[in-house]
Structure 1
Amino acid sequence: MNLRCLISLLSLTLLVNCQKKETKKQVKTPKEPFFVVLGVAQDAGYPQIACEKTCCEKTRKDTESERMVSCIGLVDPISNESWIFDATPDFTEQTELLSTYTPNKTVPDGVFLTHGHIGHYTGIMYLGREAMSANKTPVYAMPRMLDYLTNNGPWGQLVTNKNIELKPLTKDSLQVLNERISVIPLEVPHRDEYTETVGFEVHYKEKKALFIPDIDKWEKWERSITDYIKKVDIAFLDATFFKNGEINRDMSEVPHPFVEESMKLFSQLSIKDKNKVHFIHFNHTNPLLDESSEAFKTVLENNFKVAVEKSVVSF
C-alpha cells in the first residue's frame, strides 16, 4: 500500500469514528414530558456481589448483559428539567444518562426517595464533598426518611454542608414541580426498619404514571393495585422475583409480589390496561433479566411489559 492510499484509509477511518461519536451524542427527545428507565435490577445490581450462579457468571463473560439498579428519570423537555426517582449505587452513570436529555445540565433538578434500603438512597453520597460537592440539590423524602438523613452519618453531613436541600413530602399530598408536572407520594407496606416506604404517582396534565419498585404484597396494601392501573397511563411495578422458590432461603423473609402472582391478579384487566404495566426491580435470580428466557416471553404473551434499561417511556 502506497503512502497516498494509507493516508486516505486513515482519513476515512477517522471520519467514520467521528460520525459514530456524533451519533452517540445525538439523543432523540420527545416534545412532551417522558420517563427514562435508568436501571432495572434489585438493590445489589446485576451481577450481584459474590454470586457464582449461572445467572451472574454469564454477565461476567458478556458485560453487555449487566444491568444498573432500578431507577427512573422524568424529563420535561419544555422547561429542560429532570428529576430522578431513587438514588442508587449507580447514581453517577444514571445521572449522566439522564443529562443527555437535558442540554447544559449535569445533575437532575431533584431527587425523589422511596425508602431507606441500599439501592434506593445511597447514591446521594455522590453529591457530597468527596465527590461533586453539590450545591443544595433538592432531595424529596417522607418524614422518617428526612429524619434518618438528618441525624445519621454520613448523610447528615450532606445536609449541614448544604450539598442537599431536604424537601419534606406528606403522603397523599400533591408536590408541584412546575406548571405541568406534580407528584403524590403513596405509602406502601414494606420492611420499614429505618424509614417508611412510598411509591409515587406522577401527574402530567390529565395523564398519570405510577412507580412502586418495592412492596411486600399487593394484598397487604389498603388500596387496590388493579384500580390504580386502570386510572393511570403507565405503571412501573415491583417484579423483584418471578416466582416462589427462586432463591435458596425462606422467601417470606424478603416478601415481594412474585411476577406470576401479579400476572394472575391482573389477569382480568383489559389488554389496554395490561399494556400499561412495566415490570421493574429484578433480583439477580429473576429470569426477566434475560430477554431470551421463557419467563420474558410469557410476560409479553400475557400483554404486560418488561422495563428495558435506557428505554424512553412516554405518557
Structure 2
Amino acid sequence: MTKNLLHICVLLLLFSACKPKNKPATATDNTDHNTASSSPTKISNTALIILGTVQDAGSPQIGCKKDCCKNLFTNPDPNRKVVSLGVVDNQNKATFLFEATPDIATQVKALKNSANFNAQEIPTGIFLTHAHIGHYAGLMFLGKEAMNASNTPVYTMPKMKTFLEENGPWSQLVANKNIAIKATENKQTLELTSNLKVVPFTVPHRDEFSETVGYTIIGPNKRALFIPDIDKWNKWGQDITTEIAKVDYAFIDATFFDAEEINNRDISEIPHPFIIESMGLFKELPATEKSKINFIHFNHTNPALNIKSTKAKQVIKNGFNIAQINTVYNL
C-alpha cells in the first residue's frame, strides 16, 4: 500500500468514526417519548415541544445535600429545566410558551430555534398556570433590567391577573407595558390562530395568591392535556381518566414518586398525586390510554427524574412515559 493510499484510508476511518450513528429526530419521529434530545427539533407543522420537566426550584435545588444533587452543583445537567411547554404554529408564524419559569431565557431561545420560520425572541403569547415560583417568576426577565419587552400577551385567570397588577415587582411590568395581561375564564375556549385553541380549567392546589389551572391545547389534529400541579386526583371535580380519554397526550403532575421520598416534611402541606398512586389509578386502562400519559414536573428528589433509574424503568414498563426535554408532539 502506498503512503498516499494509507493516508486516504486513515482519513476515511476518522470521518466514519465522527459521523452520527443515529439520524436526528424530526417533528414526526417522536415514537420514543422517553428519550431526550440534546437540542430542539425543527418543527415544520403545528406541534408541542417540552422545554422543561423539573419542579419549581429546579435540580439541583438550593441547599440540597442529598445524593440527587451532590454532583449537579459542579456538573449541572443542561436538560434539567423547570417545567414548561412550547407550542409552534408554523403556518401562522406563531409561538406560545406555557409557564414563565426561572429558566425562561434558555427556554424561549429553544422555542424560537424549534420553529421553522424566523420566530421572534419573545413568544407570541405566554400562558401561566398559577403563582408559584416555577410557573411565573420568569416574567421578571421581560422587564427593563433584562428584555424590556413590549406588550407581551400573558394569559391568566382573574385572581392571577389581579395579583400581577397589584403587587410589585410584577405591577411594574404592567405599568411599563412590558406585558399585556389577557384575562381568561374557566373552561372558555381561546382561539389563538386558525390552528390553535386553548381551554383553561381550574384544578385544586395551594392557591395562596392565585387560582391554579390546567390547559387543554387543541391543534388541527390532536389535543394535549397539561396539568403540572394539582392536589390529589380525588379532590378534583373531574375524573382524570375521562379527561385523558378526550386527548391524545396528557402531561400530568409527577412531583413525587412516593411518600418515602419526602419523609422529612409534612406531606399534608405539599399534596400532590404520587406517581405510584397515579399508576395505581390508571392500572386498568388499556395500553393505548396509558401511552398518552407523560409524567412531568419532577421534584429534584424524585428518582424517576433520572430516566436510567429503576423507578423510571418501572414507570415505562407499566406503559407510561417520562416526559423528556426537547421531545416534540404533533398537534
1:283 to 280, 299, 305: 299
How many residues are paired up? 296
3-state SS of paired residue (1:132): coil
Structure 1 residue aligned with 2:149: 134
Q: Is the 8 A contact 1:243 1:259 kept in 2?
A: yes
Structure 2 residue aligned with 1:198: 213
Q: Is the 8 A contact 2:42 2:113 kept in 1?
A: no
Offset from partner CA, 1:98-150 (integer Å, 9 cap, x none)? 11023332111000000000000010111111111101000000000000000
Q: Which has the higher helix share?
A: 1
Offset from partner CA, 1:71-93 (integer Å, 9 cap, x none)? 11111122221100010011111
Structure 2 residue aligned with 1:255: 271
Structure 2 residue aligned with 1:92: 105
TM-score norm. by structure 2 comes to 0.85
Pairing 1:25-40 to 2, within 5 Å after superposition: 28-40=41-53
User: Where does the alignment leave 5 or more consecutive residues of structure 2 unmatched?
Assistant: 1-18, 25-36
3-state SS of paired residue (1:63): coil
The alpha-carbon deviation at position 244 of structure 1 amounts to 1.1
The alpha-carbon deviation at position 66 of structure 1 amounts to 5.7
Q: Is the 8 A contact 1:145 1:194 kept in 2?
A: yes
Partner letter of residue 323 of structure 2?
A
Q: Percent identity?
A: 48
Structure 2 residue aligned with 1:157: 172
3-state SS of paired residue (2:319): coil
1:177 to 164, 170, 192: 192
Offset from partner CA, 1:20-71 (integer Å, 9 cap, x none)? 9xx99x9643432111111111000000001010000132354236611011
TM-score norm. by structure 1 comes to 0.90
Q: Tell me if 1:48 matches 2:61.
A: yes
Moved over 3 A (4+): none
Offset from partner CA, 1:223-269 (integer Å, 9 cap, x none)? 00000111100100000000112111121210000000000101111
Q: Which has the higher contact order (CA 8 A, sep 6+)?
A: 2
Offset from partner CA, 1:158-211 (integer Å, 9 cap, x none)? 111110001000000001101111100010000000000000001113521100
Structure 1 residue aligned with 2:125: 110
Structure 2 residue aligned with 1:300: 316
User: Where does the alignment leave 5 or more consecutive residues of structure 1 unmatched?
Assistant: 1-18
Q: Is the 8 A contact 1:173 1:184 kept in 2?
A: yes
Q: Tell me if 1:120 matches 2:135.
A: yes
> What is the root-mean-square deviation in Å for CA atoms of aligned residues?
2.1
Q: CA separation in 1, counterparts of 2:73 and 2:42?
A: 32
Partner letter of residue 56 of structure 1?
C
Pairing 1:63-78 to 2, within 5 Å after superposition: 63-64=76-77, 67-78=80-91
